[in-house]
Amino acid sequence: MKHTISVLLQNKPGVLSRVTGLFSGRGYNIESLAVNRTLDPEVSCLTLVSDGDDGIIEQITKQLHKLIDVIKVTDMAETDFVEREMALIRVKAEAGTRAEVLRIIDIFRGKVVDVSPRTYAIEVTGDEDKIQAIIDILKPIGIQEIVRTGTIAMARAKKN
Amino acid sequence: MKVTGAQALMKCLKEQNVEVIFGFPGGAVIDIYDEIMRTEDLTHVLVRHEQAAVHAADAYARVKGDVGVALVTSGPGATNTVTGIASAYLDSIPIVVFTGQVPTALIGNDAFQEVDIVGITRPCTKHNYLVKDPKDLIPTIREAFHIARTGRPGPVLIDLPKDVVAAMVEYNEPQPVKMRTYRPTYEPHPGQIEKACKAILKAKKPVFYIGGGVILSNANEELTELSRKLSIPVTMTLMGLGGFPGTDPLSMGMLGMHGTYYANMAVAHSDLLIAVGARFDDRVTGRIDAFAPGAKIIHIDIDPTSISKNVTVDIPIVADCKHAVAAMNSWFNRSKDFDRGAVAEMHAPWLEMIKEWKDKHPLGYAEEKDVIKPQFVVQKLHELTQGNALITTEVGQNQMWAAQFYHFNKPRSFMTSGGLGVMGYGFPAAIGAQMAAPDRTVIDIAGDGSIQMNIQELATARQYHCPVKIAILNNNYLGMVRQWQELFYDKRYSNTTLDTAPDFVLLAQAYGAVGLRATKPSEVEPVIKEALATDNVVIMDFVISREEGVYPMVPAGKATTEMLLV
Ligand SMILES: Cc1ncc(C[n+]2csc(CCOP(=O)(O)OP(=O)(O)O)c2C)c(N)n1
Ligand SMILES: [Mg+2]
C-alpha cells in the first residue's frame, strides 16, 4: 500500500543523500519526493511517497528516524491529511481543440500559464488521482511535455 | 584560547580520555602528525596498512569498553579504512575515524588524493562529517564521540580538510553534548517489562538468545543473575560469546549455522524466546519461518530498527539491555507470584530434555593419533591459558572452532569480525587488544589464508612490544570455502587450495618475531607453552588435518534443525 511519509530534518549538506541512500541501500522504493525549507531555516521538510507492506513501512519509518539528522517522521496514514502535487502540462491546442482544452482546464481548476499559437501550458494541482485524471483526458488531444512535482502533505488540524 | 585545528584535535582527544590512537600519516594530515609529536600523553601506533588501524581501534574499543580511534590521510588512506569501518558498523563497535581531506578550496576538483570519503562511508557509519568551517571542528569532534559511544554504538567518521586543521580556532571547555535529533532510549517501558516477566513466568520451555548487545551494554552480570534466578538456559550468538559464562551448566554455547545441536534444538522447541541484544541474523535463524516456530518472542534492543525486522516480535522492549534486564530482575524480586524453587521445578523437564540432546550430540570431533585436530589446538589453548586469554580470530573455519571450543566465561574477551566476516581482522585486532590490556595474554586464532591479509602488521606488533600470539590452524586451504565446495559443489575445489604458502616460521623470524611449528599432536602443548612463555610476538604454525570440517552445520537457507553432524 502507498504511504505518504513526512520527515523533518536538519537543513545540512548531504542530508538528502542520507535519506535517498537509505532507500536505495535497503531496496525500498521512492515513488515521489519533495523537499524544501520550513519556517525555521535550519529545518527542512521532506515528503516522500513509498510503497510497501506494513512491515516495510514500519522499517522505513524506523530507519528514517535512526538517521542522526532526522528530527521527526510521520506516516501520514496514521492521521487525516491533505496532499497535493502540481503538474505543468504542455498540451496541443489547435484551432479545432483550443476551446475543448480550455473547458477541461476549467473543470480541473487548472490555469493556463503559457500560450503559443499551437499549445497551452497549464498548471494544475491536486492529489495524485486528480493529476492522473487530467493527464488521461488530455492525452488523446496531445501532450507534448509534462513536469510533475512530488507530493507534499499536511496533517489536518484537530476539529475540536 | 586560540589554538590551531590540530591542537584542538589533541585537546579534544584528551577530553575523551583517548590514550592510544592507531594511524598512518600522509600529506593531508601532516599538521596533525606534527602536533602528535608534541603531545606527550598520547601513544600513536603506526600500523603498516590503514585497514589494520581501524581493526585495531575496533578491538581496542571492545576490550576497553570505550571508543577506539584511528587517524589516516586523505584519498587512499581513507579508502583503505572502509573495510574496517564496515566491520565495526555491522558489529556496533564504537570508533571514531579521522581522515585527512584536501583543502576546502580544492574539494570537488578531483584534486590529488581527493575522495569523497563521507559519501563512500555514508552507508557504513553511524554518522559522518566533513568539517568545512574551522569553528565547527571542536563541537563536531565532541558530538562524534558522543554518537559513537551512546545508543547502539558504531563508527563515526570525521573528514578534516587540511586548511581546517591548520586554521586557528577558539578552544572552550567541554559542555555536555546536547543534540536536538538524537536521544536514544535507555530506560525500558515498565509496562513492557511487566508483560515480559509475566510471559516468562508462564513459559515451560524458555530460552535466552543473547547477542553482542549484552556485551556492549555490560549487561552480562544482570543477565547471568536473571538466567540463574529463573533456571533458563542461554544460547549466544558469535557476538554474544562471553555475555554469559560458557562453562555454566545453563550455557548451551553458540546457536545458528555452526551452533551446537542442543542450542538449535532448544530454540526450535522453545515456547518462549527471550532475545537480548541480538538481531536475528540469517546465520542465526537459518530458514526464517522454521526458526523457533512455536515460541512467543520477547526482544530487548536499544535499536528499534532491529525489532520485528526479520521476525515478528510479540513483546518488544526498546531499551539498553543492562537497564532492561536489571528491571526484570527487580520485577521478579518484588513479585509475589515468583517462587524460585517452583520455577526451577517447572523448568526441570525442559533442562532435562536439553541435557538429553546434549548427551546425544555433544560438541566434539574425531580424535586422531598422528594428525593435529584444530579443535584440539583450541582446547589446549583454552586449557593452558585457563580460559583467561583475550582471543581474536580471523575468518573461516578457524573462527568457528575458536567460537565452539574456547569457552568464554567473561565478556570483552572474544574479538571477531562477526557481521562482515573480514579475513585479516584478527591480527590487527590482537594488537589493538594488547594495547588496551598490556598485561593480558592475547591470541589470534588464525587461518593460513586470513593471516596473510594483514601479515605486514608483524612490524607493528614488534615495534610497540605487543607480544601477541598467533595460532595458525594451517590446513593449506581457504578451508571454510573448501568445506562448502566439498558439501555442495562435488568437491570441486576451485581456487581454495593455497598452493604457494610462506614458511610461517621463517616469516616470523624475518620480522624479528618467533616462529614455532607443530606437526604432531604431541607437539601442540610444548609449542603453546613455549609461545606463552615468550615475551615476543610468536607465530605458532599448527599443521592440522587438512580436510577437517566445522560441525554441526546448518546449510544456508535450511532450518536450524536440519543440521549436518559429525
Ligand atoms: C576479505 C575476505 N575475503 C573473502 C572472504 C570469504 N572467505 C570466508 S572464509 C574464507 C577462507 C579463509 O581461509 P583461512 O583463513 O585459511 O581459514 P580456514 O577456513 O582455512 O580456517 C574465505 C575466502 C572473507 N570472509 N573475507
Ligand atoms: Mg586455511
| Domain covering A84-155 assigned CATH 3.30.70.1150 in the classification | yes
B453-500 confidence digits (pLDDT tens): 999 999 999 999 999 999 999 999 999 999 999 999 999 999 999 989
Q: How confident is the model at residue A159 (pLDDT cuts 50, 70, 90)?
A: confident
Alpha-carbon gap, residue B560 to B487, rounded angstroms: 17
Q: How confident is the model at residue B180 (pLDDT cuts 50, 70, 90)?
A: confident
Say yes or no for a CB contact (<8 Å) between A17 and B119: yes
CB B424 within 8 A of CB B394: yes
Assign 3-class secondary structure to B144-161: HHHHHHCCCCCEEEEEEE
Say yes or no for a CB contact (<8 Å) between B122 and A70: no
% of chain B surpassing 90 pLDDT:
99
Q: Give pLDDT, residue B566.
A: 78
Q: Give pLDDT, residue B533.
A: 98
Say yes or no for a CB contact (<8 Å) between B123 and A21: yes
Of B480, B433, B147, B96, which Cα lies nearest the Cα of B283? B480
Of B121, B419, B182, B402, which Cα lies nearest the Cα of B279? B419
Chain B residues within an 8 Å CB radius of A21 = 122-123
User: Is the pLDDT reported for residue A1 higher than 90?
Assistant: no
Q: Give pLDDT, residue B416.
A: 98
User: Is the pLDDT reported for residue A158 higher than 90?
Assistant: no
B236-252 confidence digits (pLDDT tens): 999 999 999 999 999 99
Whole-prediction pTM: 0.96
Q: Which residue of B has its CA nearest to A71?
A: B181
Q: Which residue in the set B130, B180, B309 is minimally distant from A71, CB to CB?
A: B180
B489-531 confidence digits (pLDDT tens): 999 999 999 989 999 999 999 999 999 999 999 999 999 999 9
| Domain spans of chain A, in order of start | 2-78, 84-155
% of chain B surpassing 70 pLDDT:
100
The CATH number of A2-78, from 3.30.70.260, 2.60.120.640, 3.40.50.720, 3.40.50.300, is 3.30.70.260
Of B239, B281, B310, B312, which Cα lies nearest the Cα of B58? B239
Say yes or no for a CB contact (<8 Å) between B304 and A70: no
Q: Which residue of B has its CA nearest to A24?
A: B123
Q: Give pLDDT, residue B408.
A: 97
Q: Give pLDDT, residue B528.
A: 98
Taking an 8 Å Cβ-Cβ cutoff, which residues of chain B contact chain A? 118-119, 122-123, 126-127, 130, 147, 179-182, 303-305, 308-309, 312
- What the block records as the C-alpha cell of B498 is 593455497
CB atoms within 10 A of CB A48: 24
Q: Which residue in the set B123, B126, B308 is minimally distant from A58, CB to CB?
A: B308
Cα B137 to Cα A78, B73, B164, B182, B367, distances in angstroms: 40, 17, 8, 19, 59
Q: Which residue of B has its CA nearest to A70?
A: B181
User: Is the pLDDT reported for residue B222 higher than 90?
Assistant: yes
B38-94 confidence digits (pLDDT tens): 999 999 999 999 999 999 999 999 999 999 999 999 999 999 999 999 999 999 999
Burial A66-105 (b: 16+ CB within 10 A, else e): bbbbbbebbbbeeeeeebbbbbbbbbebeeebbeebeebb
Q: Peptide bond preceding B552: is omega within 30 degrees of 0, i.e. cis? A: yes
The conformational region for residue B110 under phi > 0 = left, psi -120 to 50 = alpha, else beta, is left
Alpha-carbon gap, residue B425 to B446, rounded angstroms: 10
User: Is the pLDDT reported for residue B34 higher than 90?
Assistant: yes
Q: Give pLDDT, residue A86.
A: 97
Q: Is A5 helix (H, G, I), strand (E, B) or coil?
A: strand
Residue whose CA is at the smallest distance from ligand 1 atom 8: B396
User: Is the pLDDT reported for residue B154 higher than 90?
Assistant: yes
Distance from CA of A78 to the nearest CA of B (A): 19
Known catalytic residue at B10 = no
Distance from CA of A70 to the nearest CA of B (A): 6
Residues in Cβ contact with A143 at an 8 Å cutoff, skipping those fewer than 6 apart: A89, A90, A91, A92, A135
The atom number, within ligand 1, closest to the CA of B394 reads 15
Are the folds of A2-78 and A84-155 the same?
A: yes
The DSSP output letter for A77 is: G
The one catalytic residue in B11, B64, B126, B162 is: B162
B415-445 confidence digits (pLDDT tens): 999 999 999 999 999 999 999 999 999 999 9
A21-80 confidence digits (pLDDT tens): 999 999 999 999 999 999 999 999 999 999 999 999 999 999 999 999 999 999 998 889
B298-341 confidence digits (pLDDT tens): 999 999 999 999 999 999 999 999 999 999 999 999 999 999 99
Known catalytic residue at B112 = yes
Burial B516-525 (b: 16+ CB within 10 A, else e): bbbbebeebe
- Show the ligand 1 pocket: residues with CB < 6 angstroms: B 394-398, 421-423, 447-450, 473, 475, 477-481
Contacts A–B by Cβ distance under 8 A: 37
Chain B residues within an 8 Å CB radius of A68 = 126-127, 147, 179, 181-182
User: Is the pLDDT reported for residue B209 higher than 90?
Assistant: yes
Say yes or no for a CB contact (<8 Å) between B181 and A68: yes
Known catalytic residue at B252 = no
For an interface test with A, the pick among B305, B307, B311, B313 (most A C-beta atoms closer than 10 Å) comes out as B305
- What the block records as the C-alpha cell of B449 is 589464508
Q: Which residue in the set B123, B181, B309 is minimally distant from A10, CB to CB?
A: B181
Say yes or no for a CB contact (<8 Å) between A17 and B127: no
User: Is the pLDDT reported for residue A160 higher than 80?
Assistant: no
CB B62 within 8 A of CB B95: no
Please state at what angle helix A128-138 crosses helix A98-107, rounded to 10 degrees.
170
Q: Which residue of B has its CA nearest to A57?
A: B309
- Of B90, B394, B395, B500, the residue with max ligand 1 atoms within 8 A of its CB, to mutate for a pocket test, comes to B395
Q: Is B266 helix (H, G, I), strand (E, B) or coil?
A: helix
Chain A residues within an 8 Å CB radius of B126 = 68
The one catalytic residue in B7, B10, B11, B50 is: B50
